[in-house]
Structure 1
Amino acid sequence: MTHIAVINYGPQLDYPAMIPELAGALHVFSHHELKNTEGLARYEYVEDCESVPYAELMIRRLARHRPFTHLVTDNEYDLERAARIREDLGIPGGQSPASALSFRDKVVMKEVAGQVVATARFARLESVVDLTGFIEKCGYPVVVKPVKQGGSRDIVVLRSEDDLLAFSRRHWREDLMAEEFIEGRMYHVDAVLADGYRFVASSRYLRSCLGVFSGQNNGSLQLRPDDPFARRLEEFLDRVLGAFDTPDVSAYHLEVFHTPDDELVLCEIASRVGGDRIPALTRATYGVDLHTAVLRQSCGLPAAPPPTAPPAEVHGSVSILPQGRPVRAPGRPPFPWVCHYEVNERLAPGAVTLYSASHLCFVIVRGADTAEVEDRLLQAEAWLMANLENLEERENQPDGDQQVRPV
C-alpha cells in the first residue's frame, strides 16, 4: 500500500489537485498553512518547519506502523534532511545524501561541476586569513556568501579594502565561502528530468540578483526555446548534470553567467524547482506546472507530457522592491499585455529587502519574443514606480487635503 511523506514549503501548492489518485496517502508537514487539505491522510502546519526537527521526528514515528513508500519535498533547505530519512528508513527512490550535499553545499557543487564546466574561482573560509589570502590571489571584487544559503541571502560583495574592514566588524560565520566576481549577464535554466520526460526552459534575469541590495528591482524574462542561445544553455545544463549523481526524477534550477568574452560560467545549480515567479511564468508560456510534474513522477505517477510545439508567446516578470518606508502599491498597470498583477498583502509597512524574492508587488507581461517582453517589463516597472503612494506624505497632509501622491 502506498504511503507518502511530504515536507512542503510552497504556500500555494494544492496536493489533492496535483495528485488526486494518491491524496489519501499523503502525510503533509507544511512550512505554510495550506488551503485545500481535505482528503489528505495527514496534514500539519509546522511553524518554522525547516528550522525545527518535528517533521522528521514524526515521519520516523509514523514509519514504525506504516512504512513510507515515498518521501518528497519541494524545499531546498529540506533536501538533505529528506535524503537522510530515506536512507535511514529504506525508502526507495529519491535523492541520496551525497547527491543532496553536492547540490546544497556550494563549495562541493563547484568542485563537482568544475570538472566539466567553467566556474568562478572559490575557496571555503575557515577564518578571515583565508579571505585575505583569497583576495590577494584573485583581487577585488570578491563575493562572500554562506555555502548553503539561497535567494541571495547574506551575500556581500567586497570591492575595496574599506569594504573588507567594514565586513570584519560583522559576526564571523562558520559557513562562509569566497568566490571571484564574474562580470556578465545572468541566465537561469529550469528543468524537470525523468525517464521518458524532459522539460527545459531558459530565461534571463532582468538584472543581477544582487542588485536588489542596492535598490534595483528584480525580474526575469524567458527566451524562446528556438533561440540558439537557449539551446546553448540547455547543452550547458546537460554537461553540468553529467558530473553529478542525480536522482531518477528531479527538478533543476541552474544559474549561469554569460561573460563579455562569450563564455558560460556556472554560478550555481539546485536540484529543486526555481523560486520567485519562475513556476508562474512556466505555466503561462508552456502550460507546464513544474511542481506537479516533479511530484507526480516522484510518486510513480505519469505527468502530462510537455509541449513539443514552440509557444505563441513568452513571458516575463518584474518585482517592485519593498521601499524601506511606508508606501502603498498602485492598482494594476493599464496595459493590455499585462497578464497578472499581485500585491504582497503580507508585507509590513516600511519593510526592507531581505532576499532576492522580496517584493512589494509584481507584474507578469507577455510578448512575442524576449526583446518585446523586456521592453514591456521596463514600461510596467516605470509606471508602478511612478504611481507608488507615499503614506507618510498622506498622513502629514491637513484634513480635507488627502490627495494621492506618487513617491
Structure 2
Amino acid sequence: MVNVAVVNYGRLNDYAAMLPELTGGLHVFSHHELERTSGFAHYEYVPDCEFVPYAELRLRELARDRVFDHVITDNEYDLERVARLRTHLGVPGQSPESALSFRDKVVMKEVAGKRVRTPRFAGLGTFADLLAFIDDVGYPVVVKPRKQGGSRDITVLRDRDDLTAFSRRHWRDDLMAEEFVDGEVHHVDAVLADGYRFVACSRYLRSCLGVLSGENNGSLQLHPDDPVAVELTAFLDDCLAAFGTPAVSAYHLEVFRTADGELLLCEIASRVGGARIPALTRATYGLDPLTVWLRLSTGLPVEDAPSGPPAELHGAVAIVPPGHAVRAPERPPFPWITAYEVNTALADGAVAQNSTSHLCWAMVEGRTTAEVEIRLRETEAWLVANTADVP
C-alpha cells in the first residue's frame, strides 16, 4: 500500500478521480469539506486548516504506524509546512529551502535576480526603511506582505498623501517595498518533471491590483508560437535556473512587460495558477494542471504533454463585486461563450478582497489572441450593462 499525506485547500478537488490508484492510501486533511472521501485511508475536515498546525501534528502522529511515500498539497500557503513534513518523514519532494524561496518575495527576488531582471525592492523592518526606499526610488512604490498572495493587502503609494494615509495604519513586520512597474502583466503556467514539460503563456486583461479599485479581472492566452510567448518561456527557464527546484513541480510565473518590451519578474510560485487559469488550460490543451502535477508527484503515469498548436485559444473575464447588492446577469448571448458561472456564495454588498473576488465570470474562445481579447471586452461590456441593482 502506497501512503500519501494530503493537505488540501480546494473546495472541488476530487482526489479519488485524480489519483484512483492511490485512493485507499490517501490521508487527507482539508481546509474545505470535500464531497467524495469514501475509500480514503483517513479524512478530516479541519476548519481553518490553512492557518492552524493541526494537520502537521496529526500526520507526524500517523507516521508512527505507517510509512508515508509522498506528501502533497494543492495550496501555496501549505508549501512550507508540507516541505517540513517531507524532511521529517524522509520523503522526496520540494525542500523547505526551495519552498521558502518561492514563498518569501524578498528571498524570491534575491534568488531570481541572479538570472533575470527584477524591480528594485527592499525588505521593510521599520517605517524608516520605507522612507529610505522612497527617497531612493521615488514614487510610486508598492508595499506588500512578503508571503501573501492573490493581491491581498497590497498598497500602492503614489504620492505624499498616500504615504501619510499609510502611516496611520497599524504597522506589520512582514512587509516589503518594490518600485512600481508600468506595463502589461503576463503569466506563464507550467508543469515540469523529468521527461515531461508543459508551458502555457497568457496576458492579464488588466493588472491584478485593479480589482481592489473596482476594475474587472481577466486573462487571455497567447499562441505558443507568438514571439512574446517564446520570450516568456525563455524567461521562465532562465528564472528557474536560479532556484533549487524539485524533480516535479508546477509553476505560476507573473512577468511585467514594459512598453519597450523589457521583461521583469513580478513573482513566481511553485504551484498551479489560481482562479480561472486551470479552466482555461483544460479548454485549450485538454490538460488539467493540478491532476498532472499531483500524479507526477506521486509517481503515477500521465498522458504526454500536448505538442501541437492548439485549435482555439481561450480567455476569461470576471466581474468584480460592486460593493452593493446586485443580481448577476444570465449567460451572455454570444456563441463564443464556452463557460459562464455566477458566484452564488457572494454576500450582498461584498467588495473585492483579492484578485479572485468575482460576481460572475465568463470564458470565451477565438482563433487568435486578438480575437479572444475583442470578444472578452464585448462580453465584459454586456455583463456590466446587464448587472442589475437589487432594490
Q: TM-score range by the shorter chain?
A: over 0.9
* SS of equivalent residue, structure 1 residue 83: helix
Q: Distance in 2 between matches of 1:369 and 1:150?
A: 30
Question: CA offset at residue 328 of structure 1?
Answer: 0.8
Question: CA offset at residue 13 of structure 1?
Answer: 1.1
Structure 1 partner of 2:317: 318
Structure 2 partner of 1:296: 295
Structure 2 partner of 1:230: 229
Question: CA offset at residue 292 of structure 1?
Answer: 0.5
Q: Distance in 2 between matches of 1:308 and 1:240?
A: 23
Structure 1 partner of 2:53: 53
State the one-letter code of the partner of 1:55: A
Structure 2 partner of 1:395: none
Q: Structure 1, residues 95-147: CA drift from partner, whole Å, max 9, x if none?
A: 00000000000000000000111000000001110000000000000000000
Structure 2 partner of 1:385: 384
* SS of equivalent residue, structure 1 residue 288: coil
Q: Distance in 2 between matches of 1:38 and 1:225?
A: 41
Greater gyration radius: 1
Q: What runs of 5+ residues in structure 2 fail to find an aligned partner?
A: none
Q: Distance in 1 between matches of 2:255 and 2:240?
A: 13
* SS of equivalent residue, structure 1 residue 384: helix
Q: Structure 1, residues 55-82: CA drift from partner, whole Å, max 9, x if none?
A: 1111011000012110000100000000
Q: Distance in 2 between matches of 1:350 and 1:183?
A: 31
**TM-score for both structures, normalised by structure 1:** 0.95
State the one-letter code of the partner of 1:172: W
Structure 1 partner of 2:337: 338
Question: CA offset at residue 182 of structure 1?
Answer: 0.6
Structure 2 partner of 1:72: 72
Structure 1 partner of 2:129: 130
Question: CA offset at residue 90 of structure 1?
Answer: 1.3
Question: CA offset at residue 250 of structure 1?
Answer: 0.3
Q: Distance in 1 between matches of 2:303 and 2:23?
A: 18
Question: CA offset at residue 54 of structure 1?
Answer: 1.0
Structure 1 partner of 2:277: 278
Alignment of 1:229-248 (within 5 A): 229-248=228-247
Query: Aligned pair 1:354/2:353, yes or no?
Result: yes
Structure 1 partner of 2:140: 141
Structure 2 partner of 1:216: 215
* SS of equivalent residue, structure 1 residue 36: coil
* SS of equivalent residue, structure 1 residue 304: coil
Q: Distance in 2 between matches of 1:261 and 1:310?
A: 28
Structure 1 partner of 2:251: 252
Question: CA offset at residue 160 of structure 1?
Answer: 0.3
State the one-letter code of the partner of 1:96: S
State the one-letter code of the partner of 2:285: Y
* SS of equivalent residue, structure 1 residue 340: strand
Structure 1 partner of 2:22: 22
Q: Distance in 1 between matches of 2:115 and 2:370?
A: 32
* SS of equivalent residue, structure 2 residue 153: coil
Structure 1 partner of 2:194: 195
Structure 1 partner of 2:305: 306
State the one-letter code of the partner of 1:222: Q
Structure 2 partner of 1:3: 3
Structure 2 partner of 1:399: none
Q: Distance in 1 between matches of 2:166 and 2:379?
A: 36
State the one-letter code of the partner of 1:205: Y
Question: CA offset at residue 11 of structure 1?
Answer: 1.1
Alignment of 1:42-121 (within 5 A): 42-91=42-91, 93-121=92-120
* SS of equivalent residue, structure 1 residue 150: coil
Question: CA offset at residue 390 of structure 1?
Answer: 0.6
Question: CA offset at residue 9 of structure 1?
Answer: 1.0
Q: Structure 1, residues 21-65: CA drift from partner, whole Å, max 9, x if none?
A: 111111111111112112211121111111111111110110000
State the one-letter code of the partner of 2:202: S
Q: Distance in 2 between matches of 1:47 and 1:346?
A: 18
* SS of equivalent residue, structure 2 residue 27: strand
**TM-score for both structures, normalised by structure 2:** 0.99
Q: Distance in 2 between matches of 1:70 and 1:128?
A: 43
State the one-letter code of the partner of 2:88: D
Q: Distance in 1 between matches of 2:197 and 2:247?
A: 12
Q: Distance in 2 between matches of 1:113 and 1:281?
A: 28
Question: CA offset at residue 307 of structure 1?
Answer: 1.3
Q: Distance in 2 between matches of 1:29 and 1:303?
A: 25
Q: Distance in 1 between matches of 2:95 and 2:358?
A: 34
Structure 1 partner of 2:150: 151
Q: Distance in 1 between matches of 2:124 and 2:248?
A: 33
Structure 2 partner of 1:396: none
Number of aligned residue pairs = 391
Q: Distance in 1 between matches of 2:375 and 2:47?
A: 39
State the one-letter code of the partner of 2:248: V
State the one-letter code of the partner of 1:269: I
Structure 2 partner of 1:183: 182
Structure 2 partner of 1:405: none
Q: Distance in 2 between matches of 1:304 and 1:21?
A: 15
Report which stretch shifted further, 31-40 or 341-350: 31-40
Q: Distance in 2 between matches of 1:37 and 1:365?
A: 33
Q: Distance in 2 between matches of 1:39 and 1:369?
A: 44
Q: Distance in 2 between matches of 1:40 and 1:371?
A: 46
Q: Distance in 2 between matches of 1:333 and 1:39?
A: 41
Q: Structure 1, residues 230-267: CA drift from partner, whole Å, max 9, x if none?
A: 11100000000000000000000000000112110000
Q: Distance in 2 between matches of 1:229 and 1:83?
A: 34
* SS of equivalent residue, structure 2 residue 86: helix
Q: Distance in 2 between matches of 1:5 and 1:182?
A: 40
State the one-letter code of the partner of 2:280: L
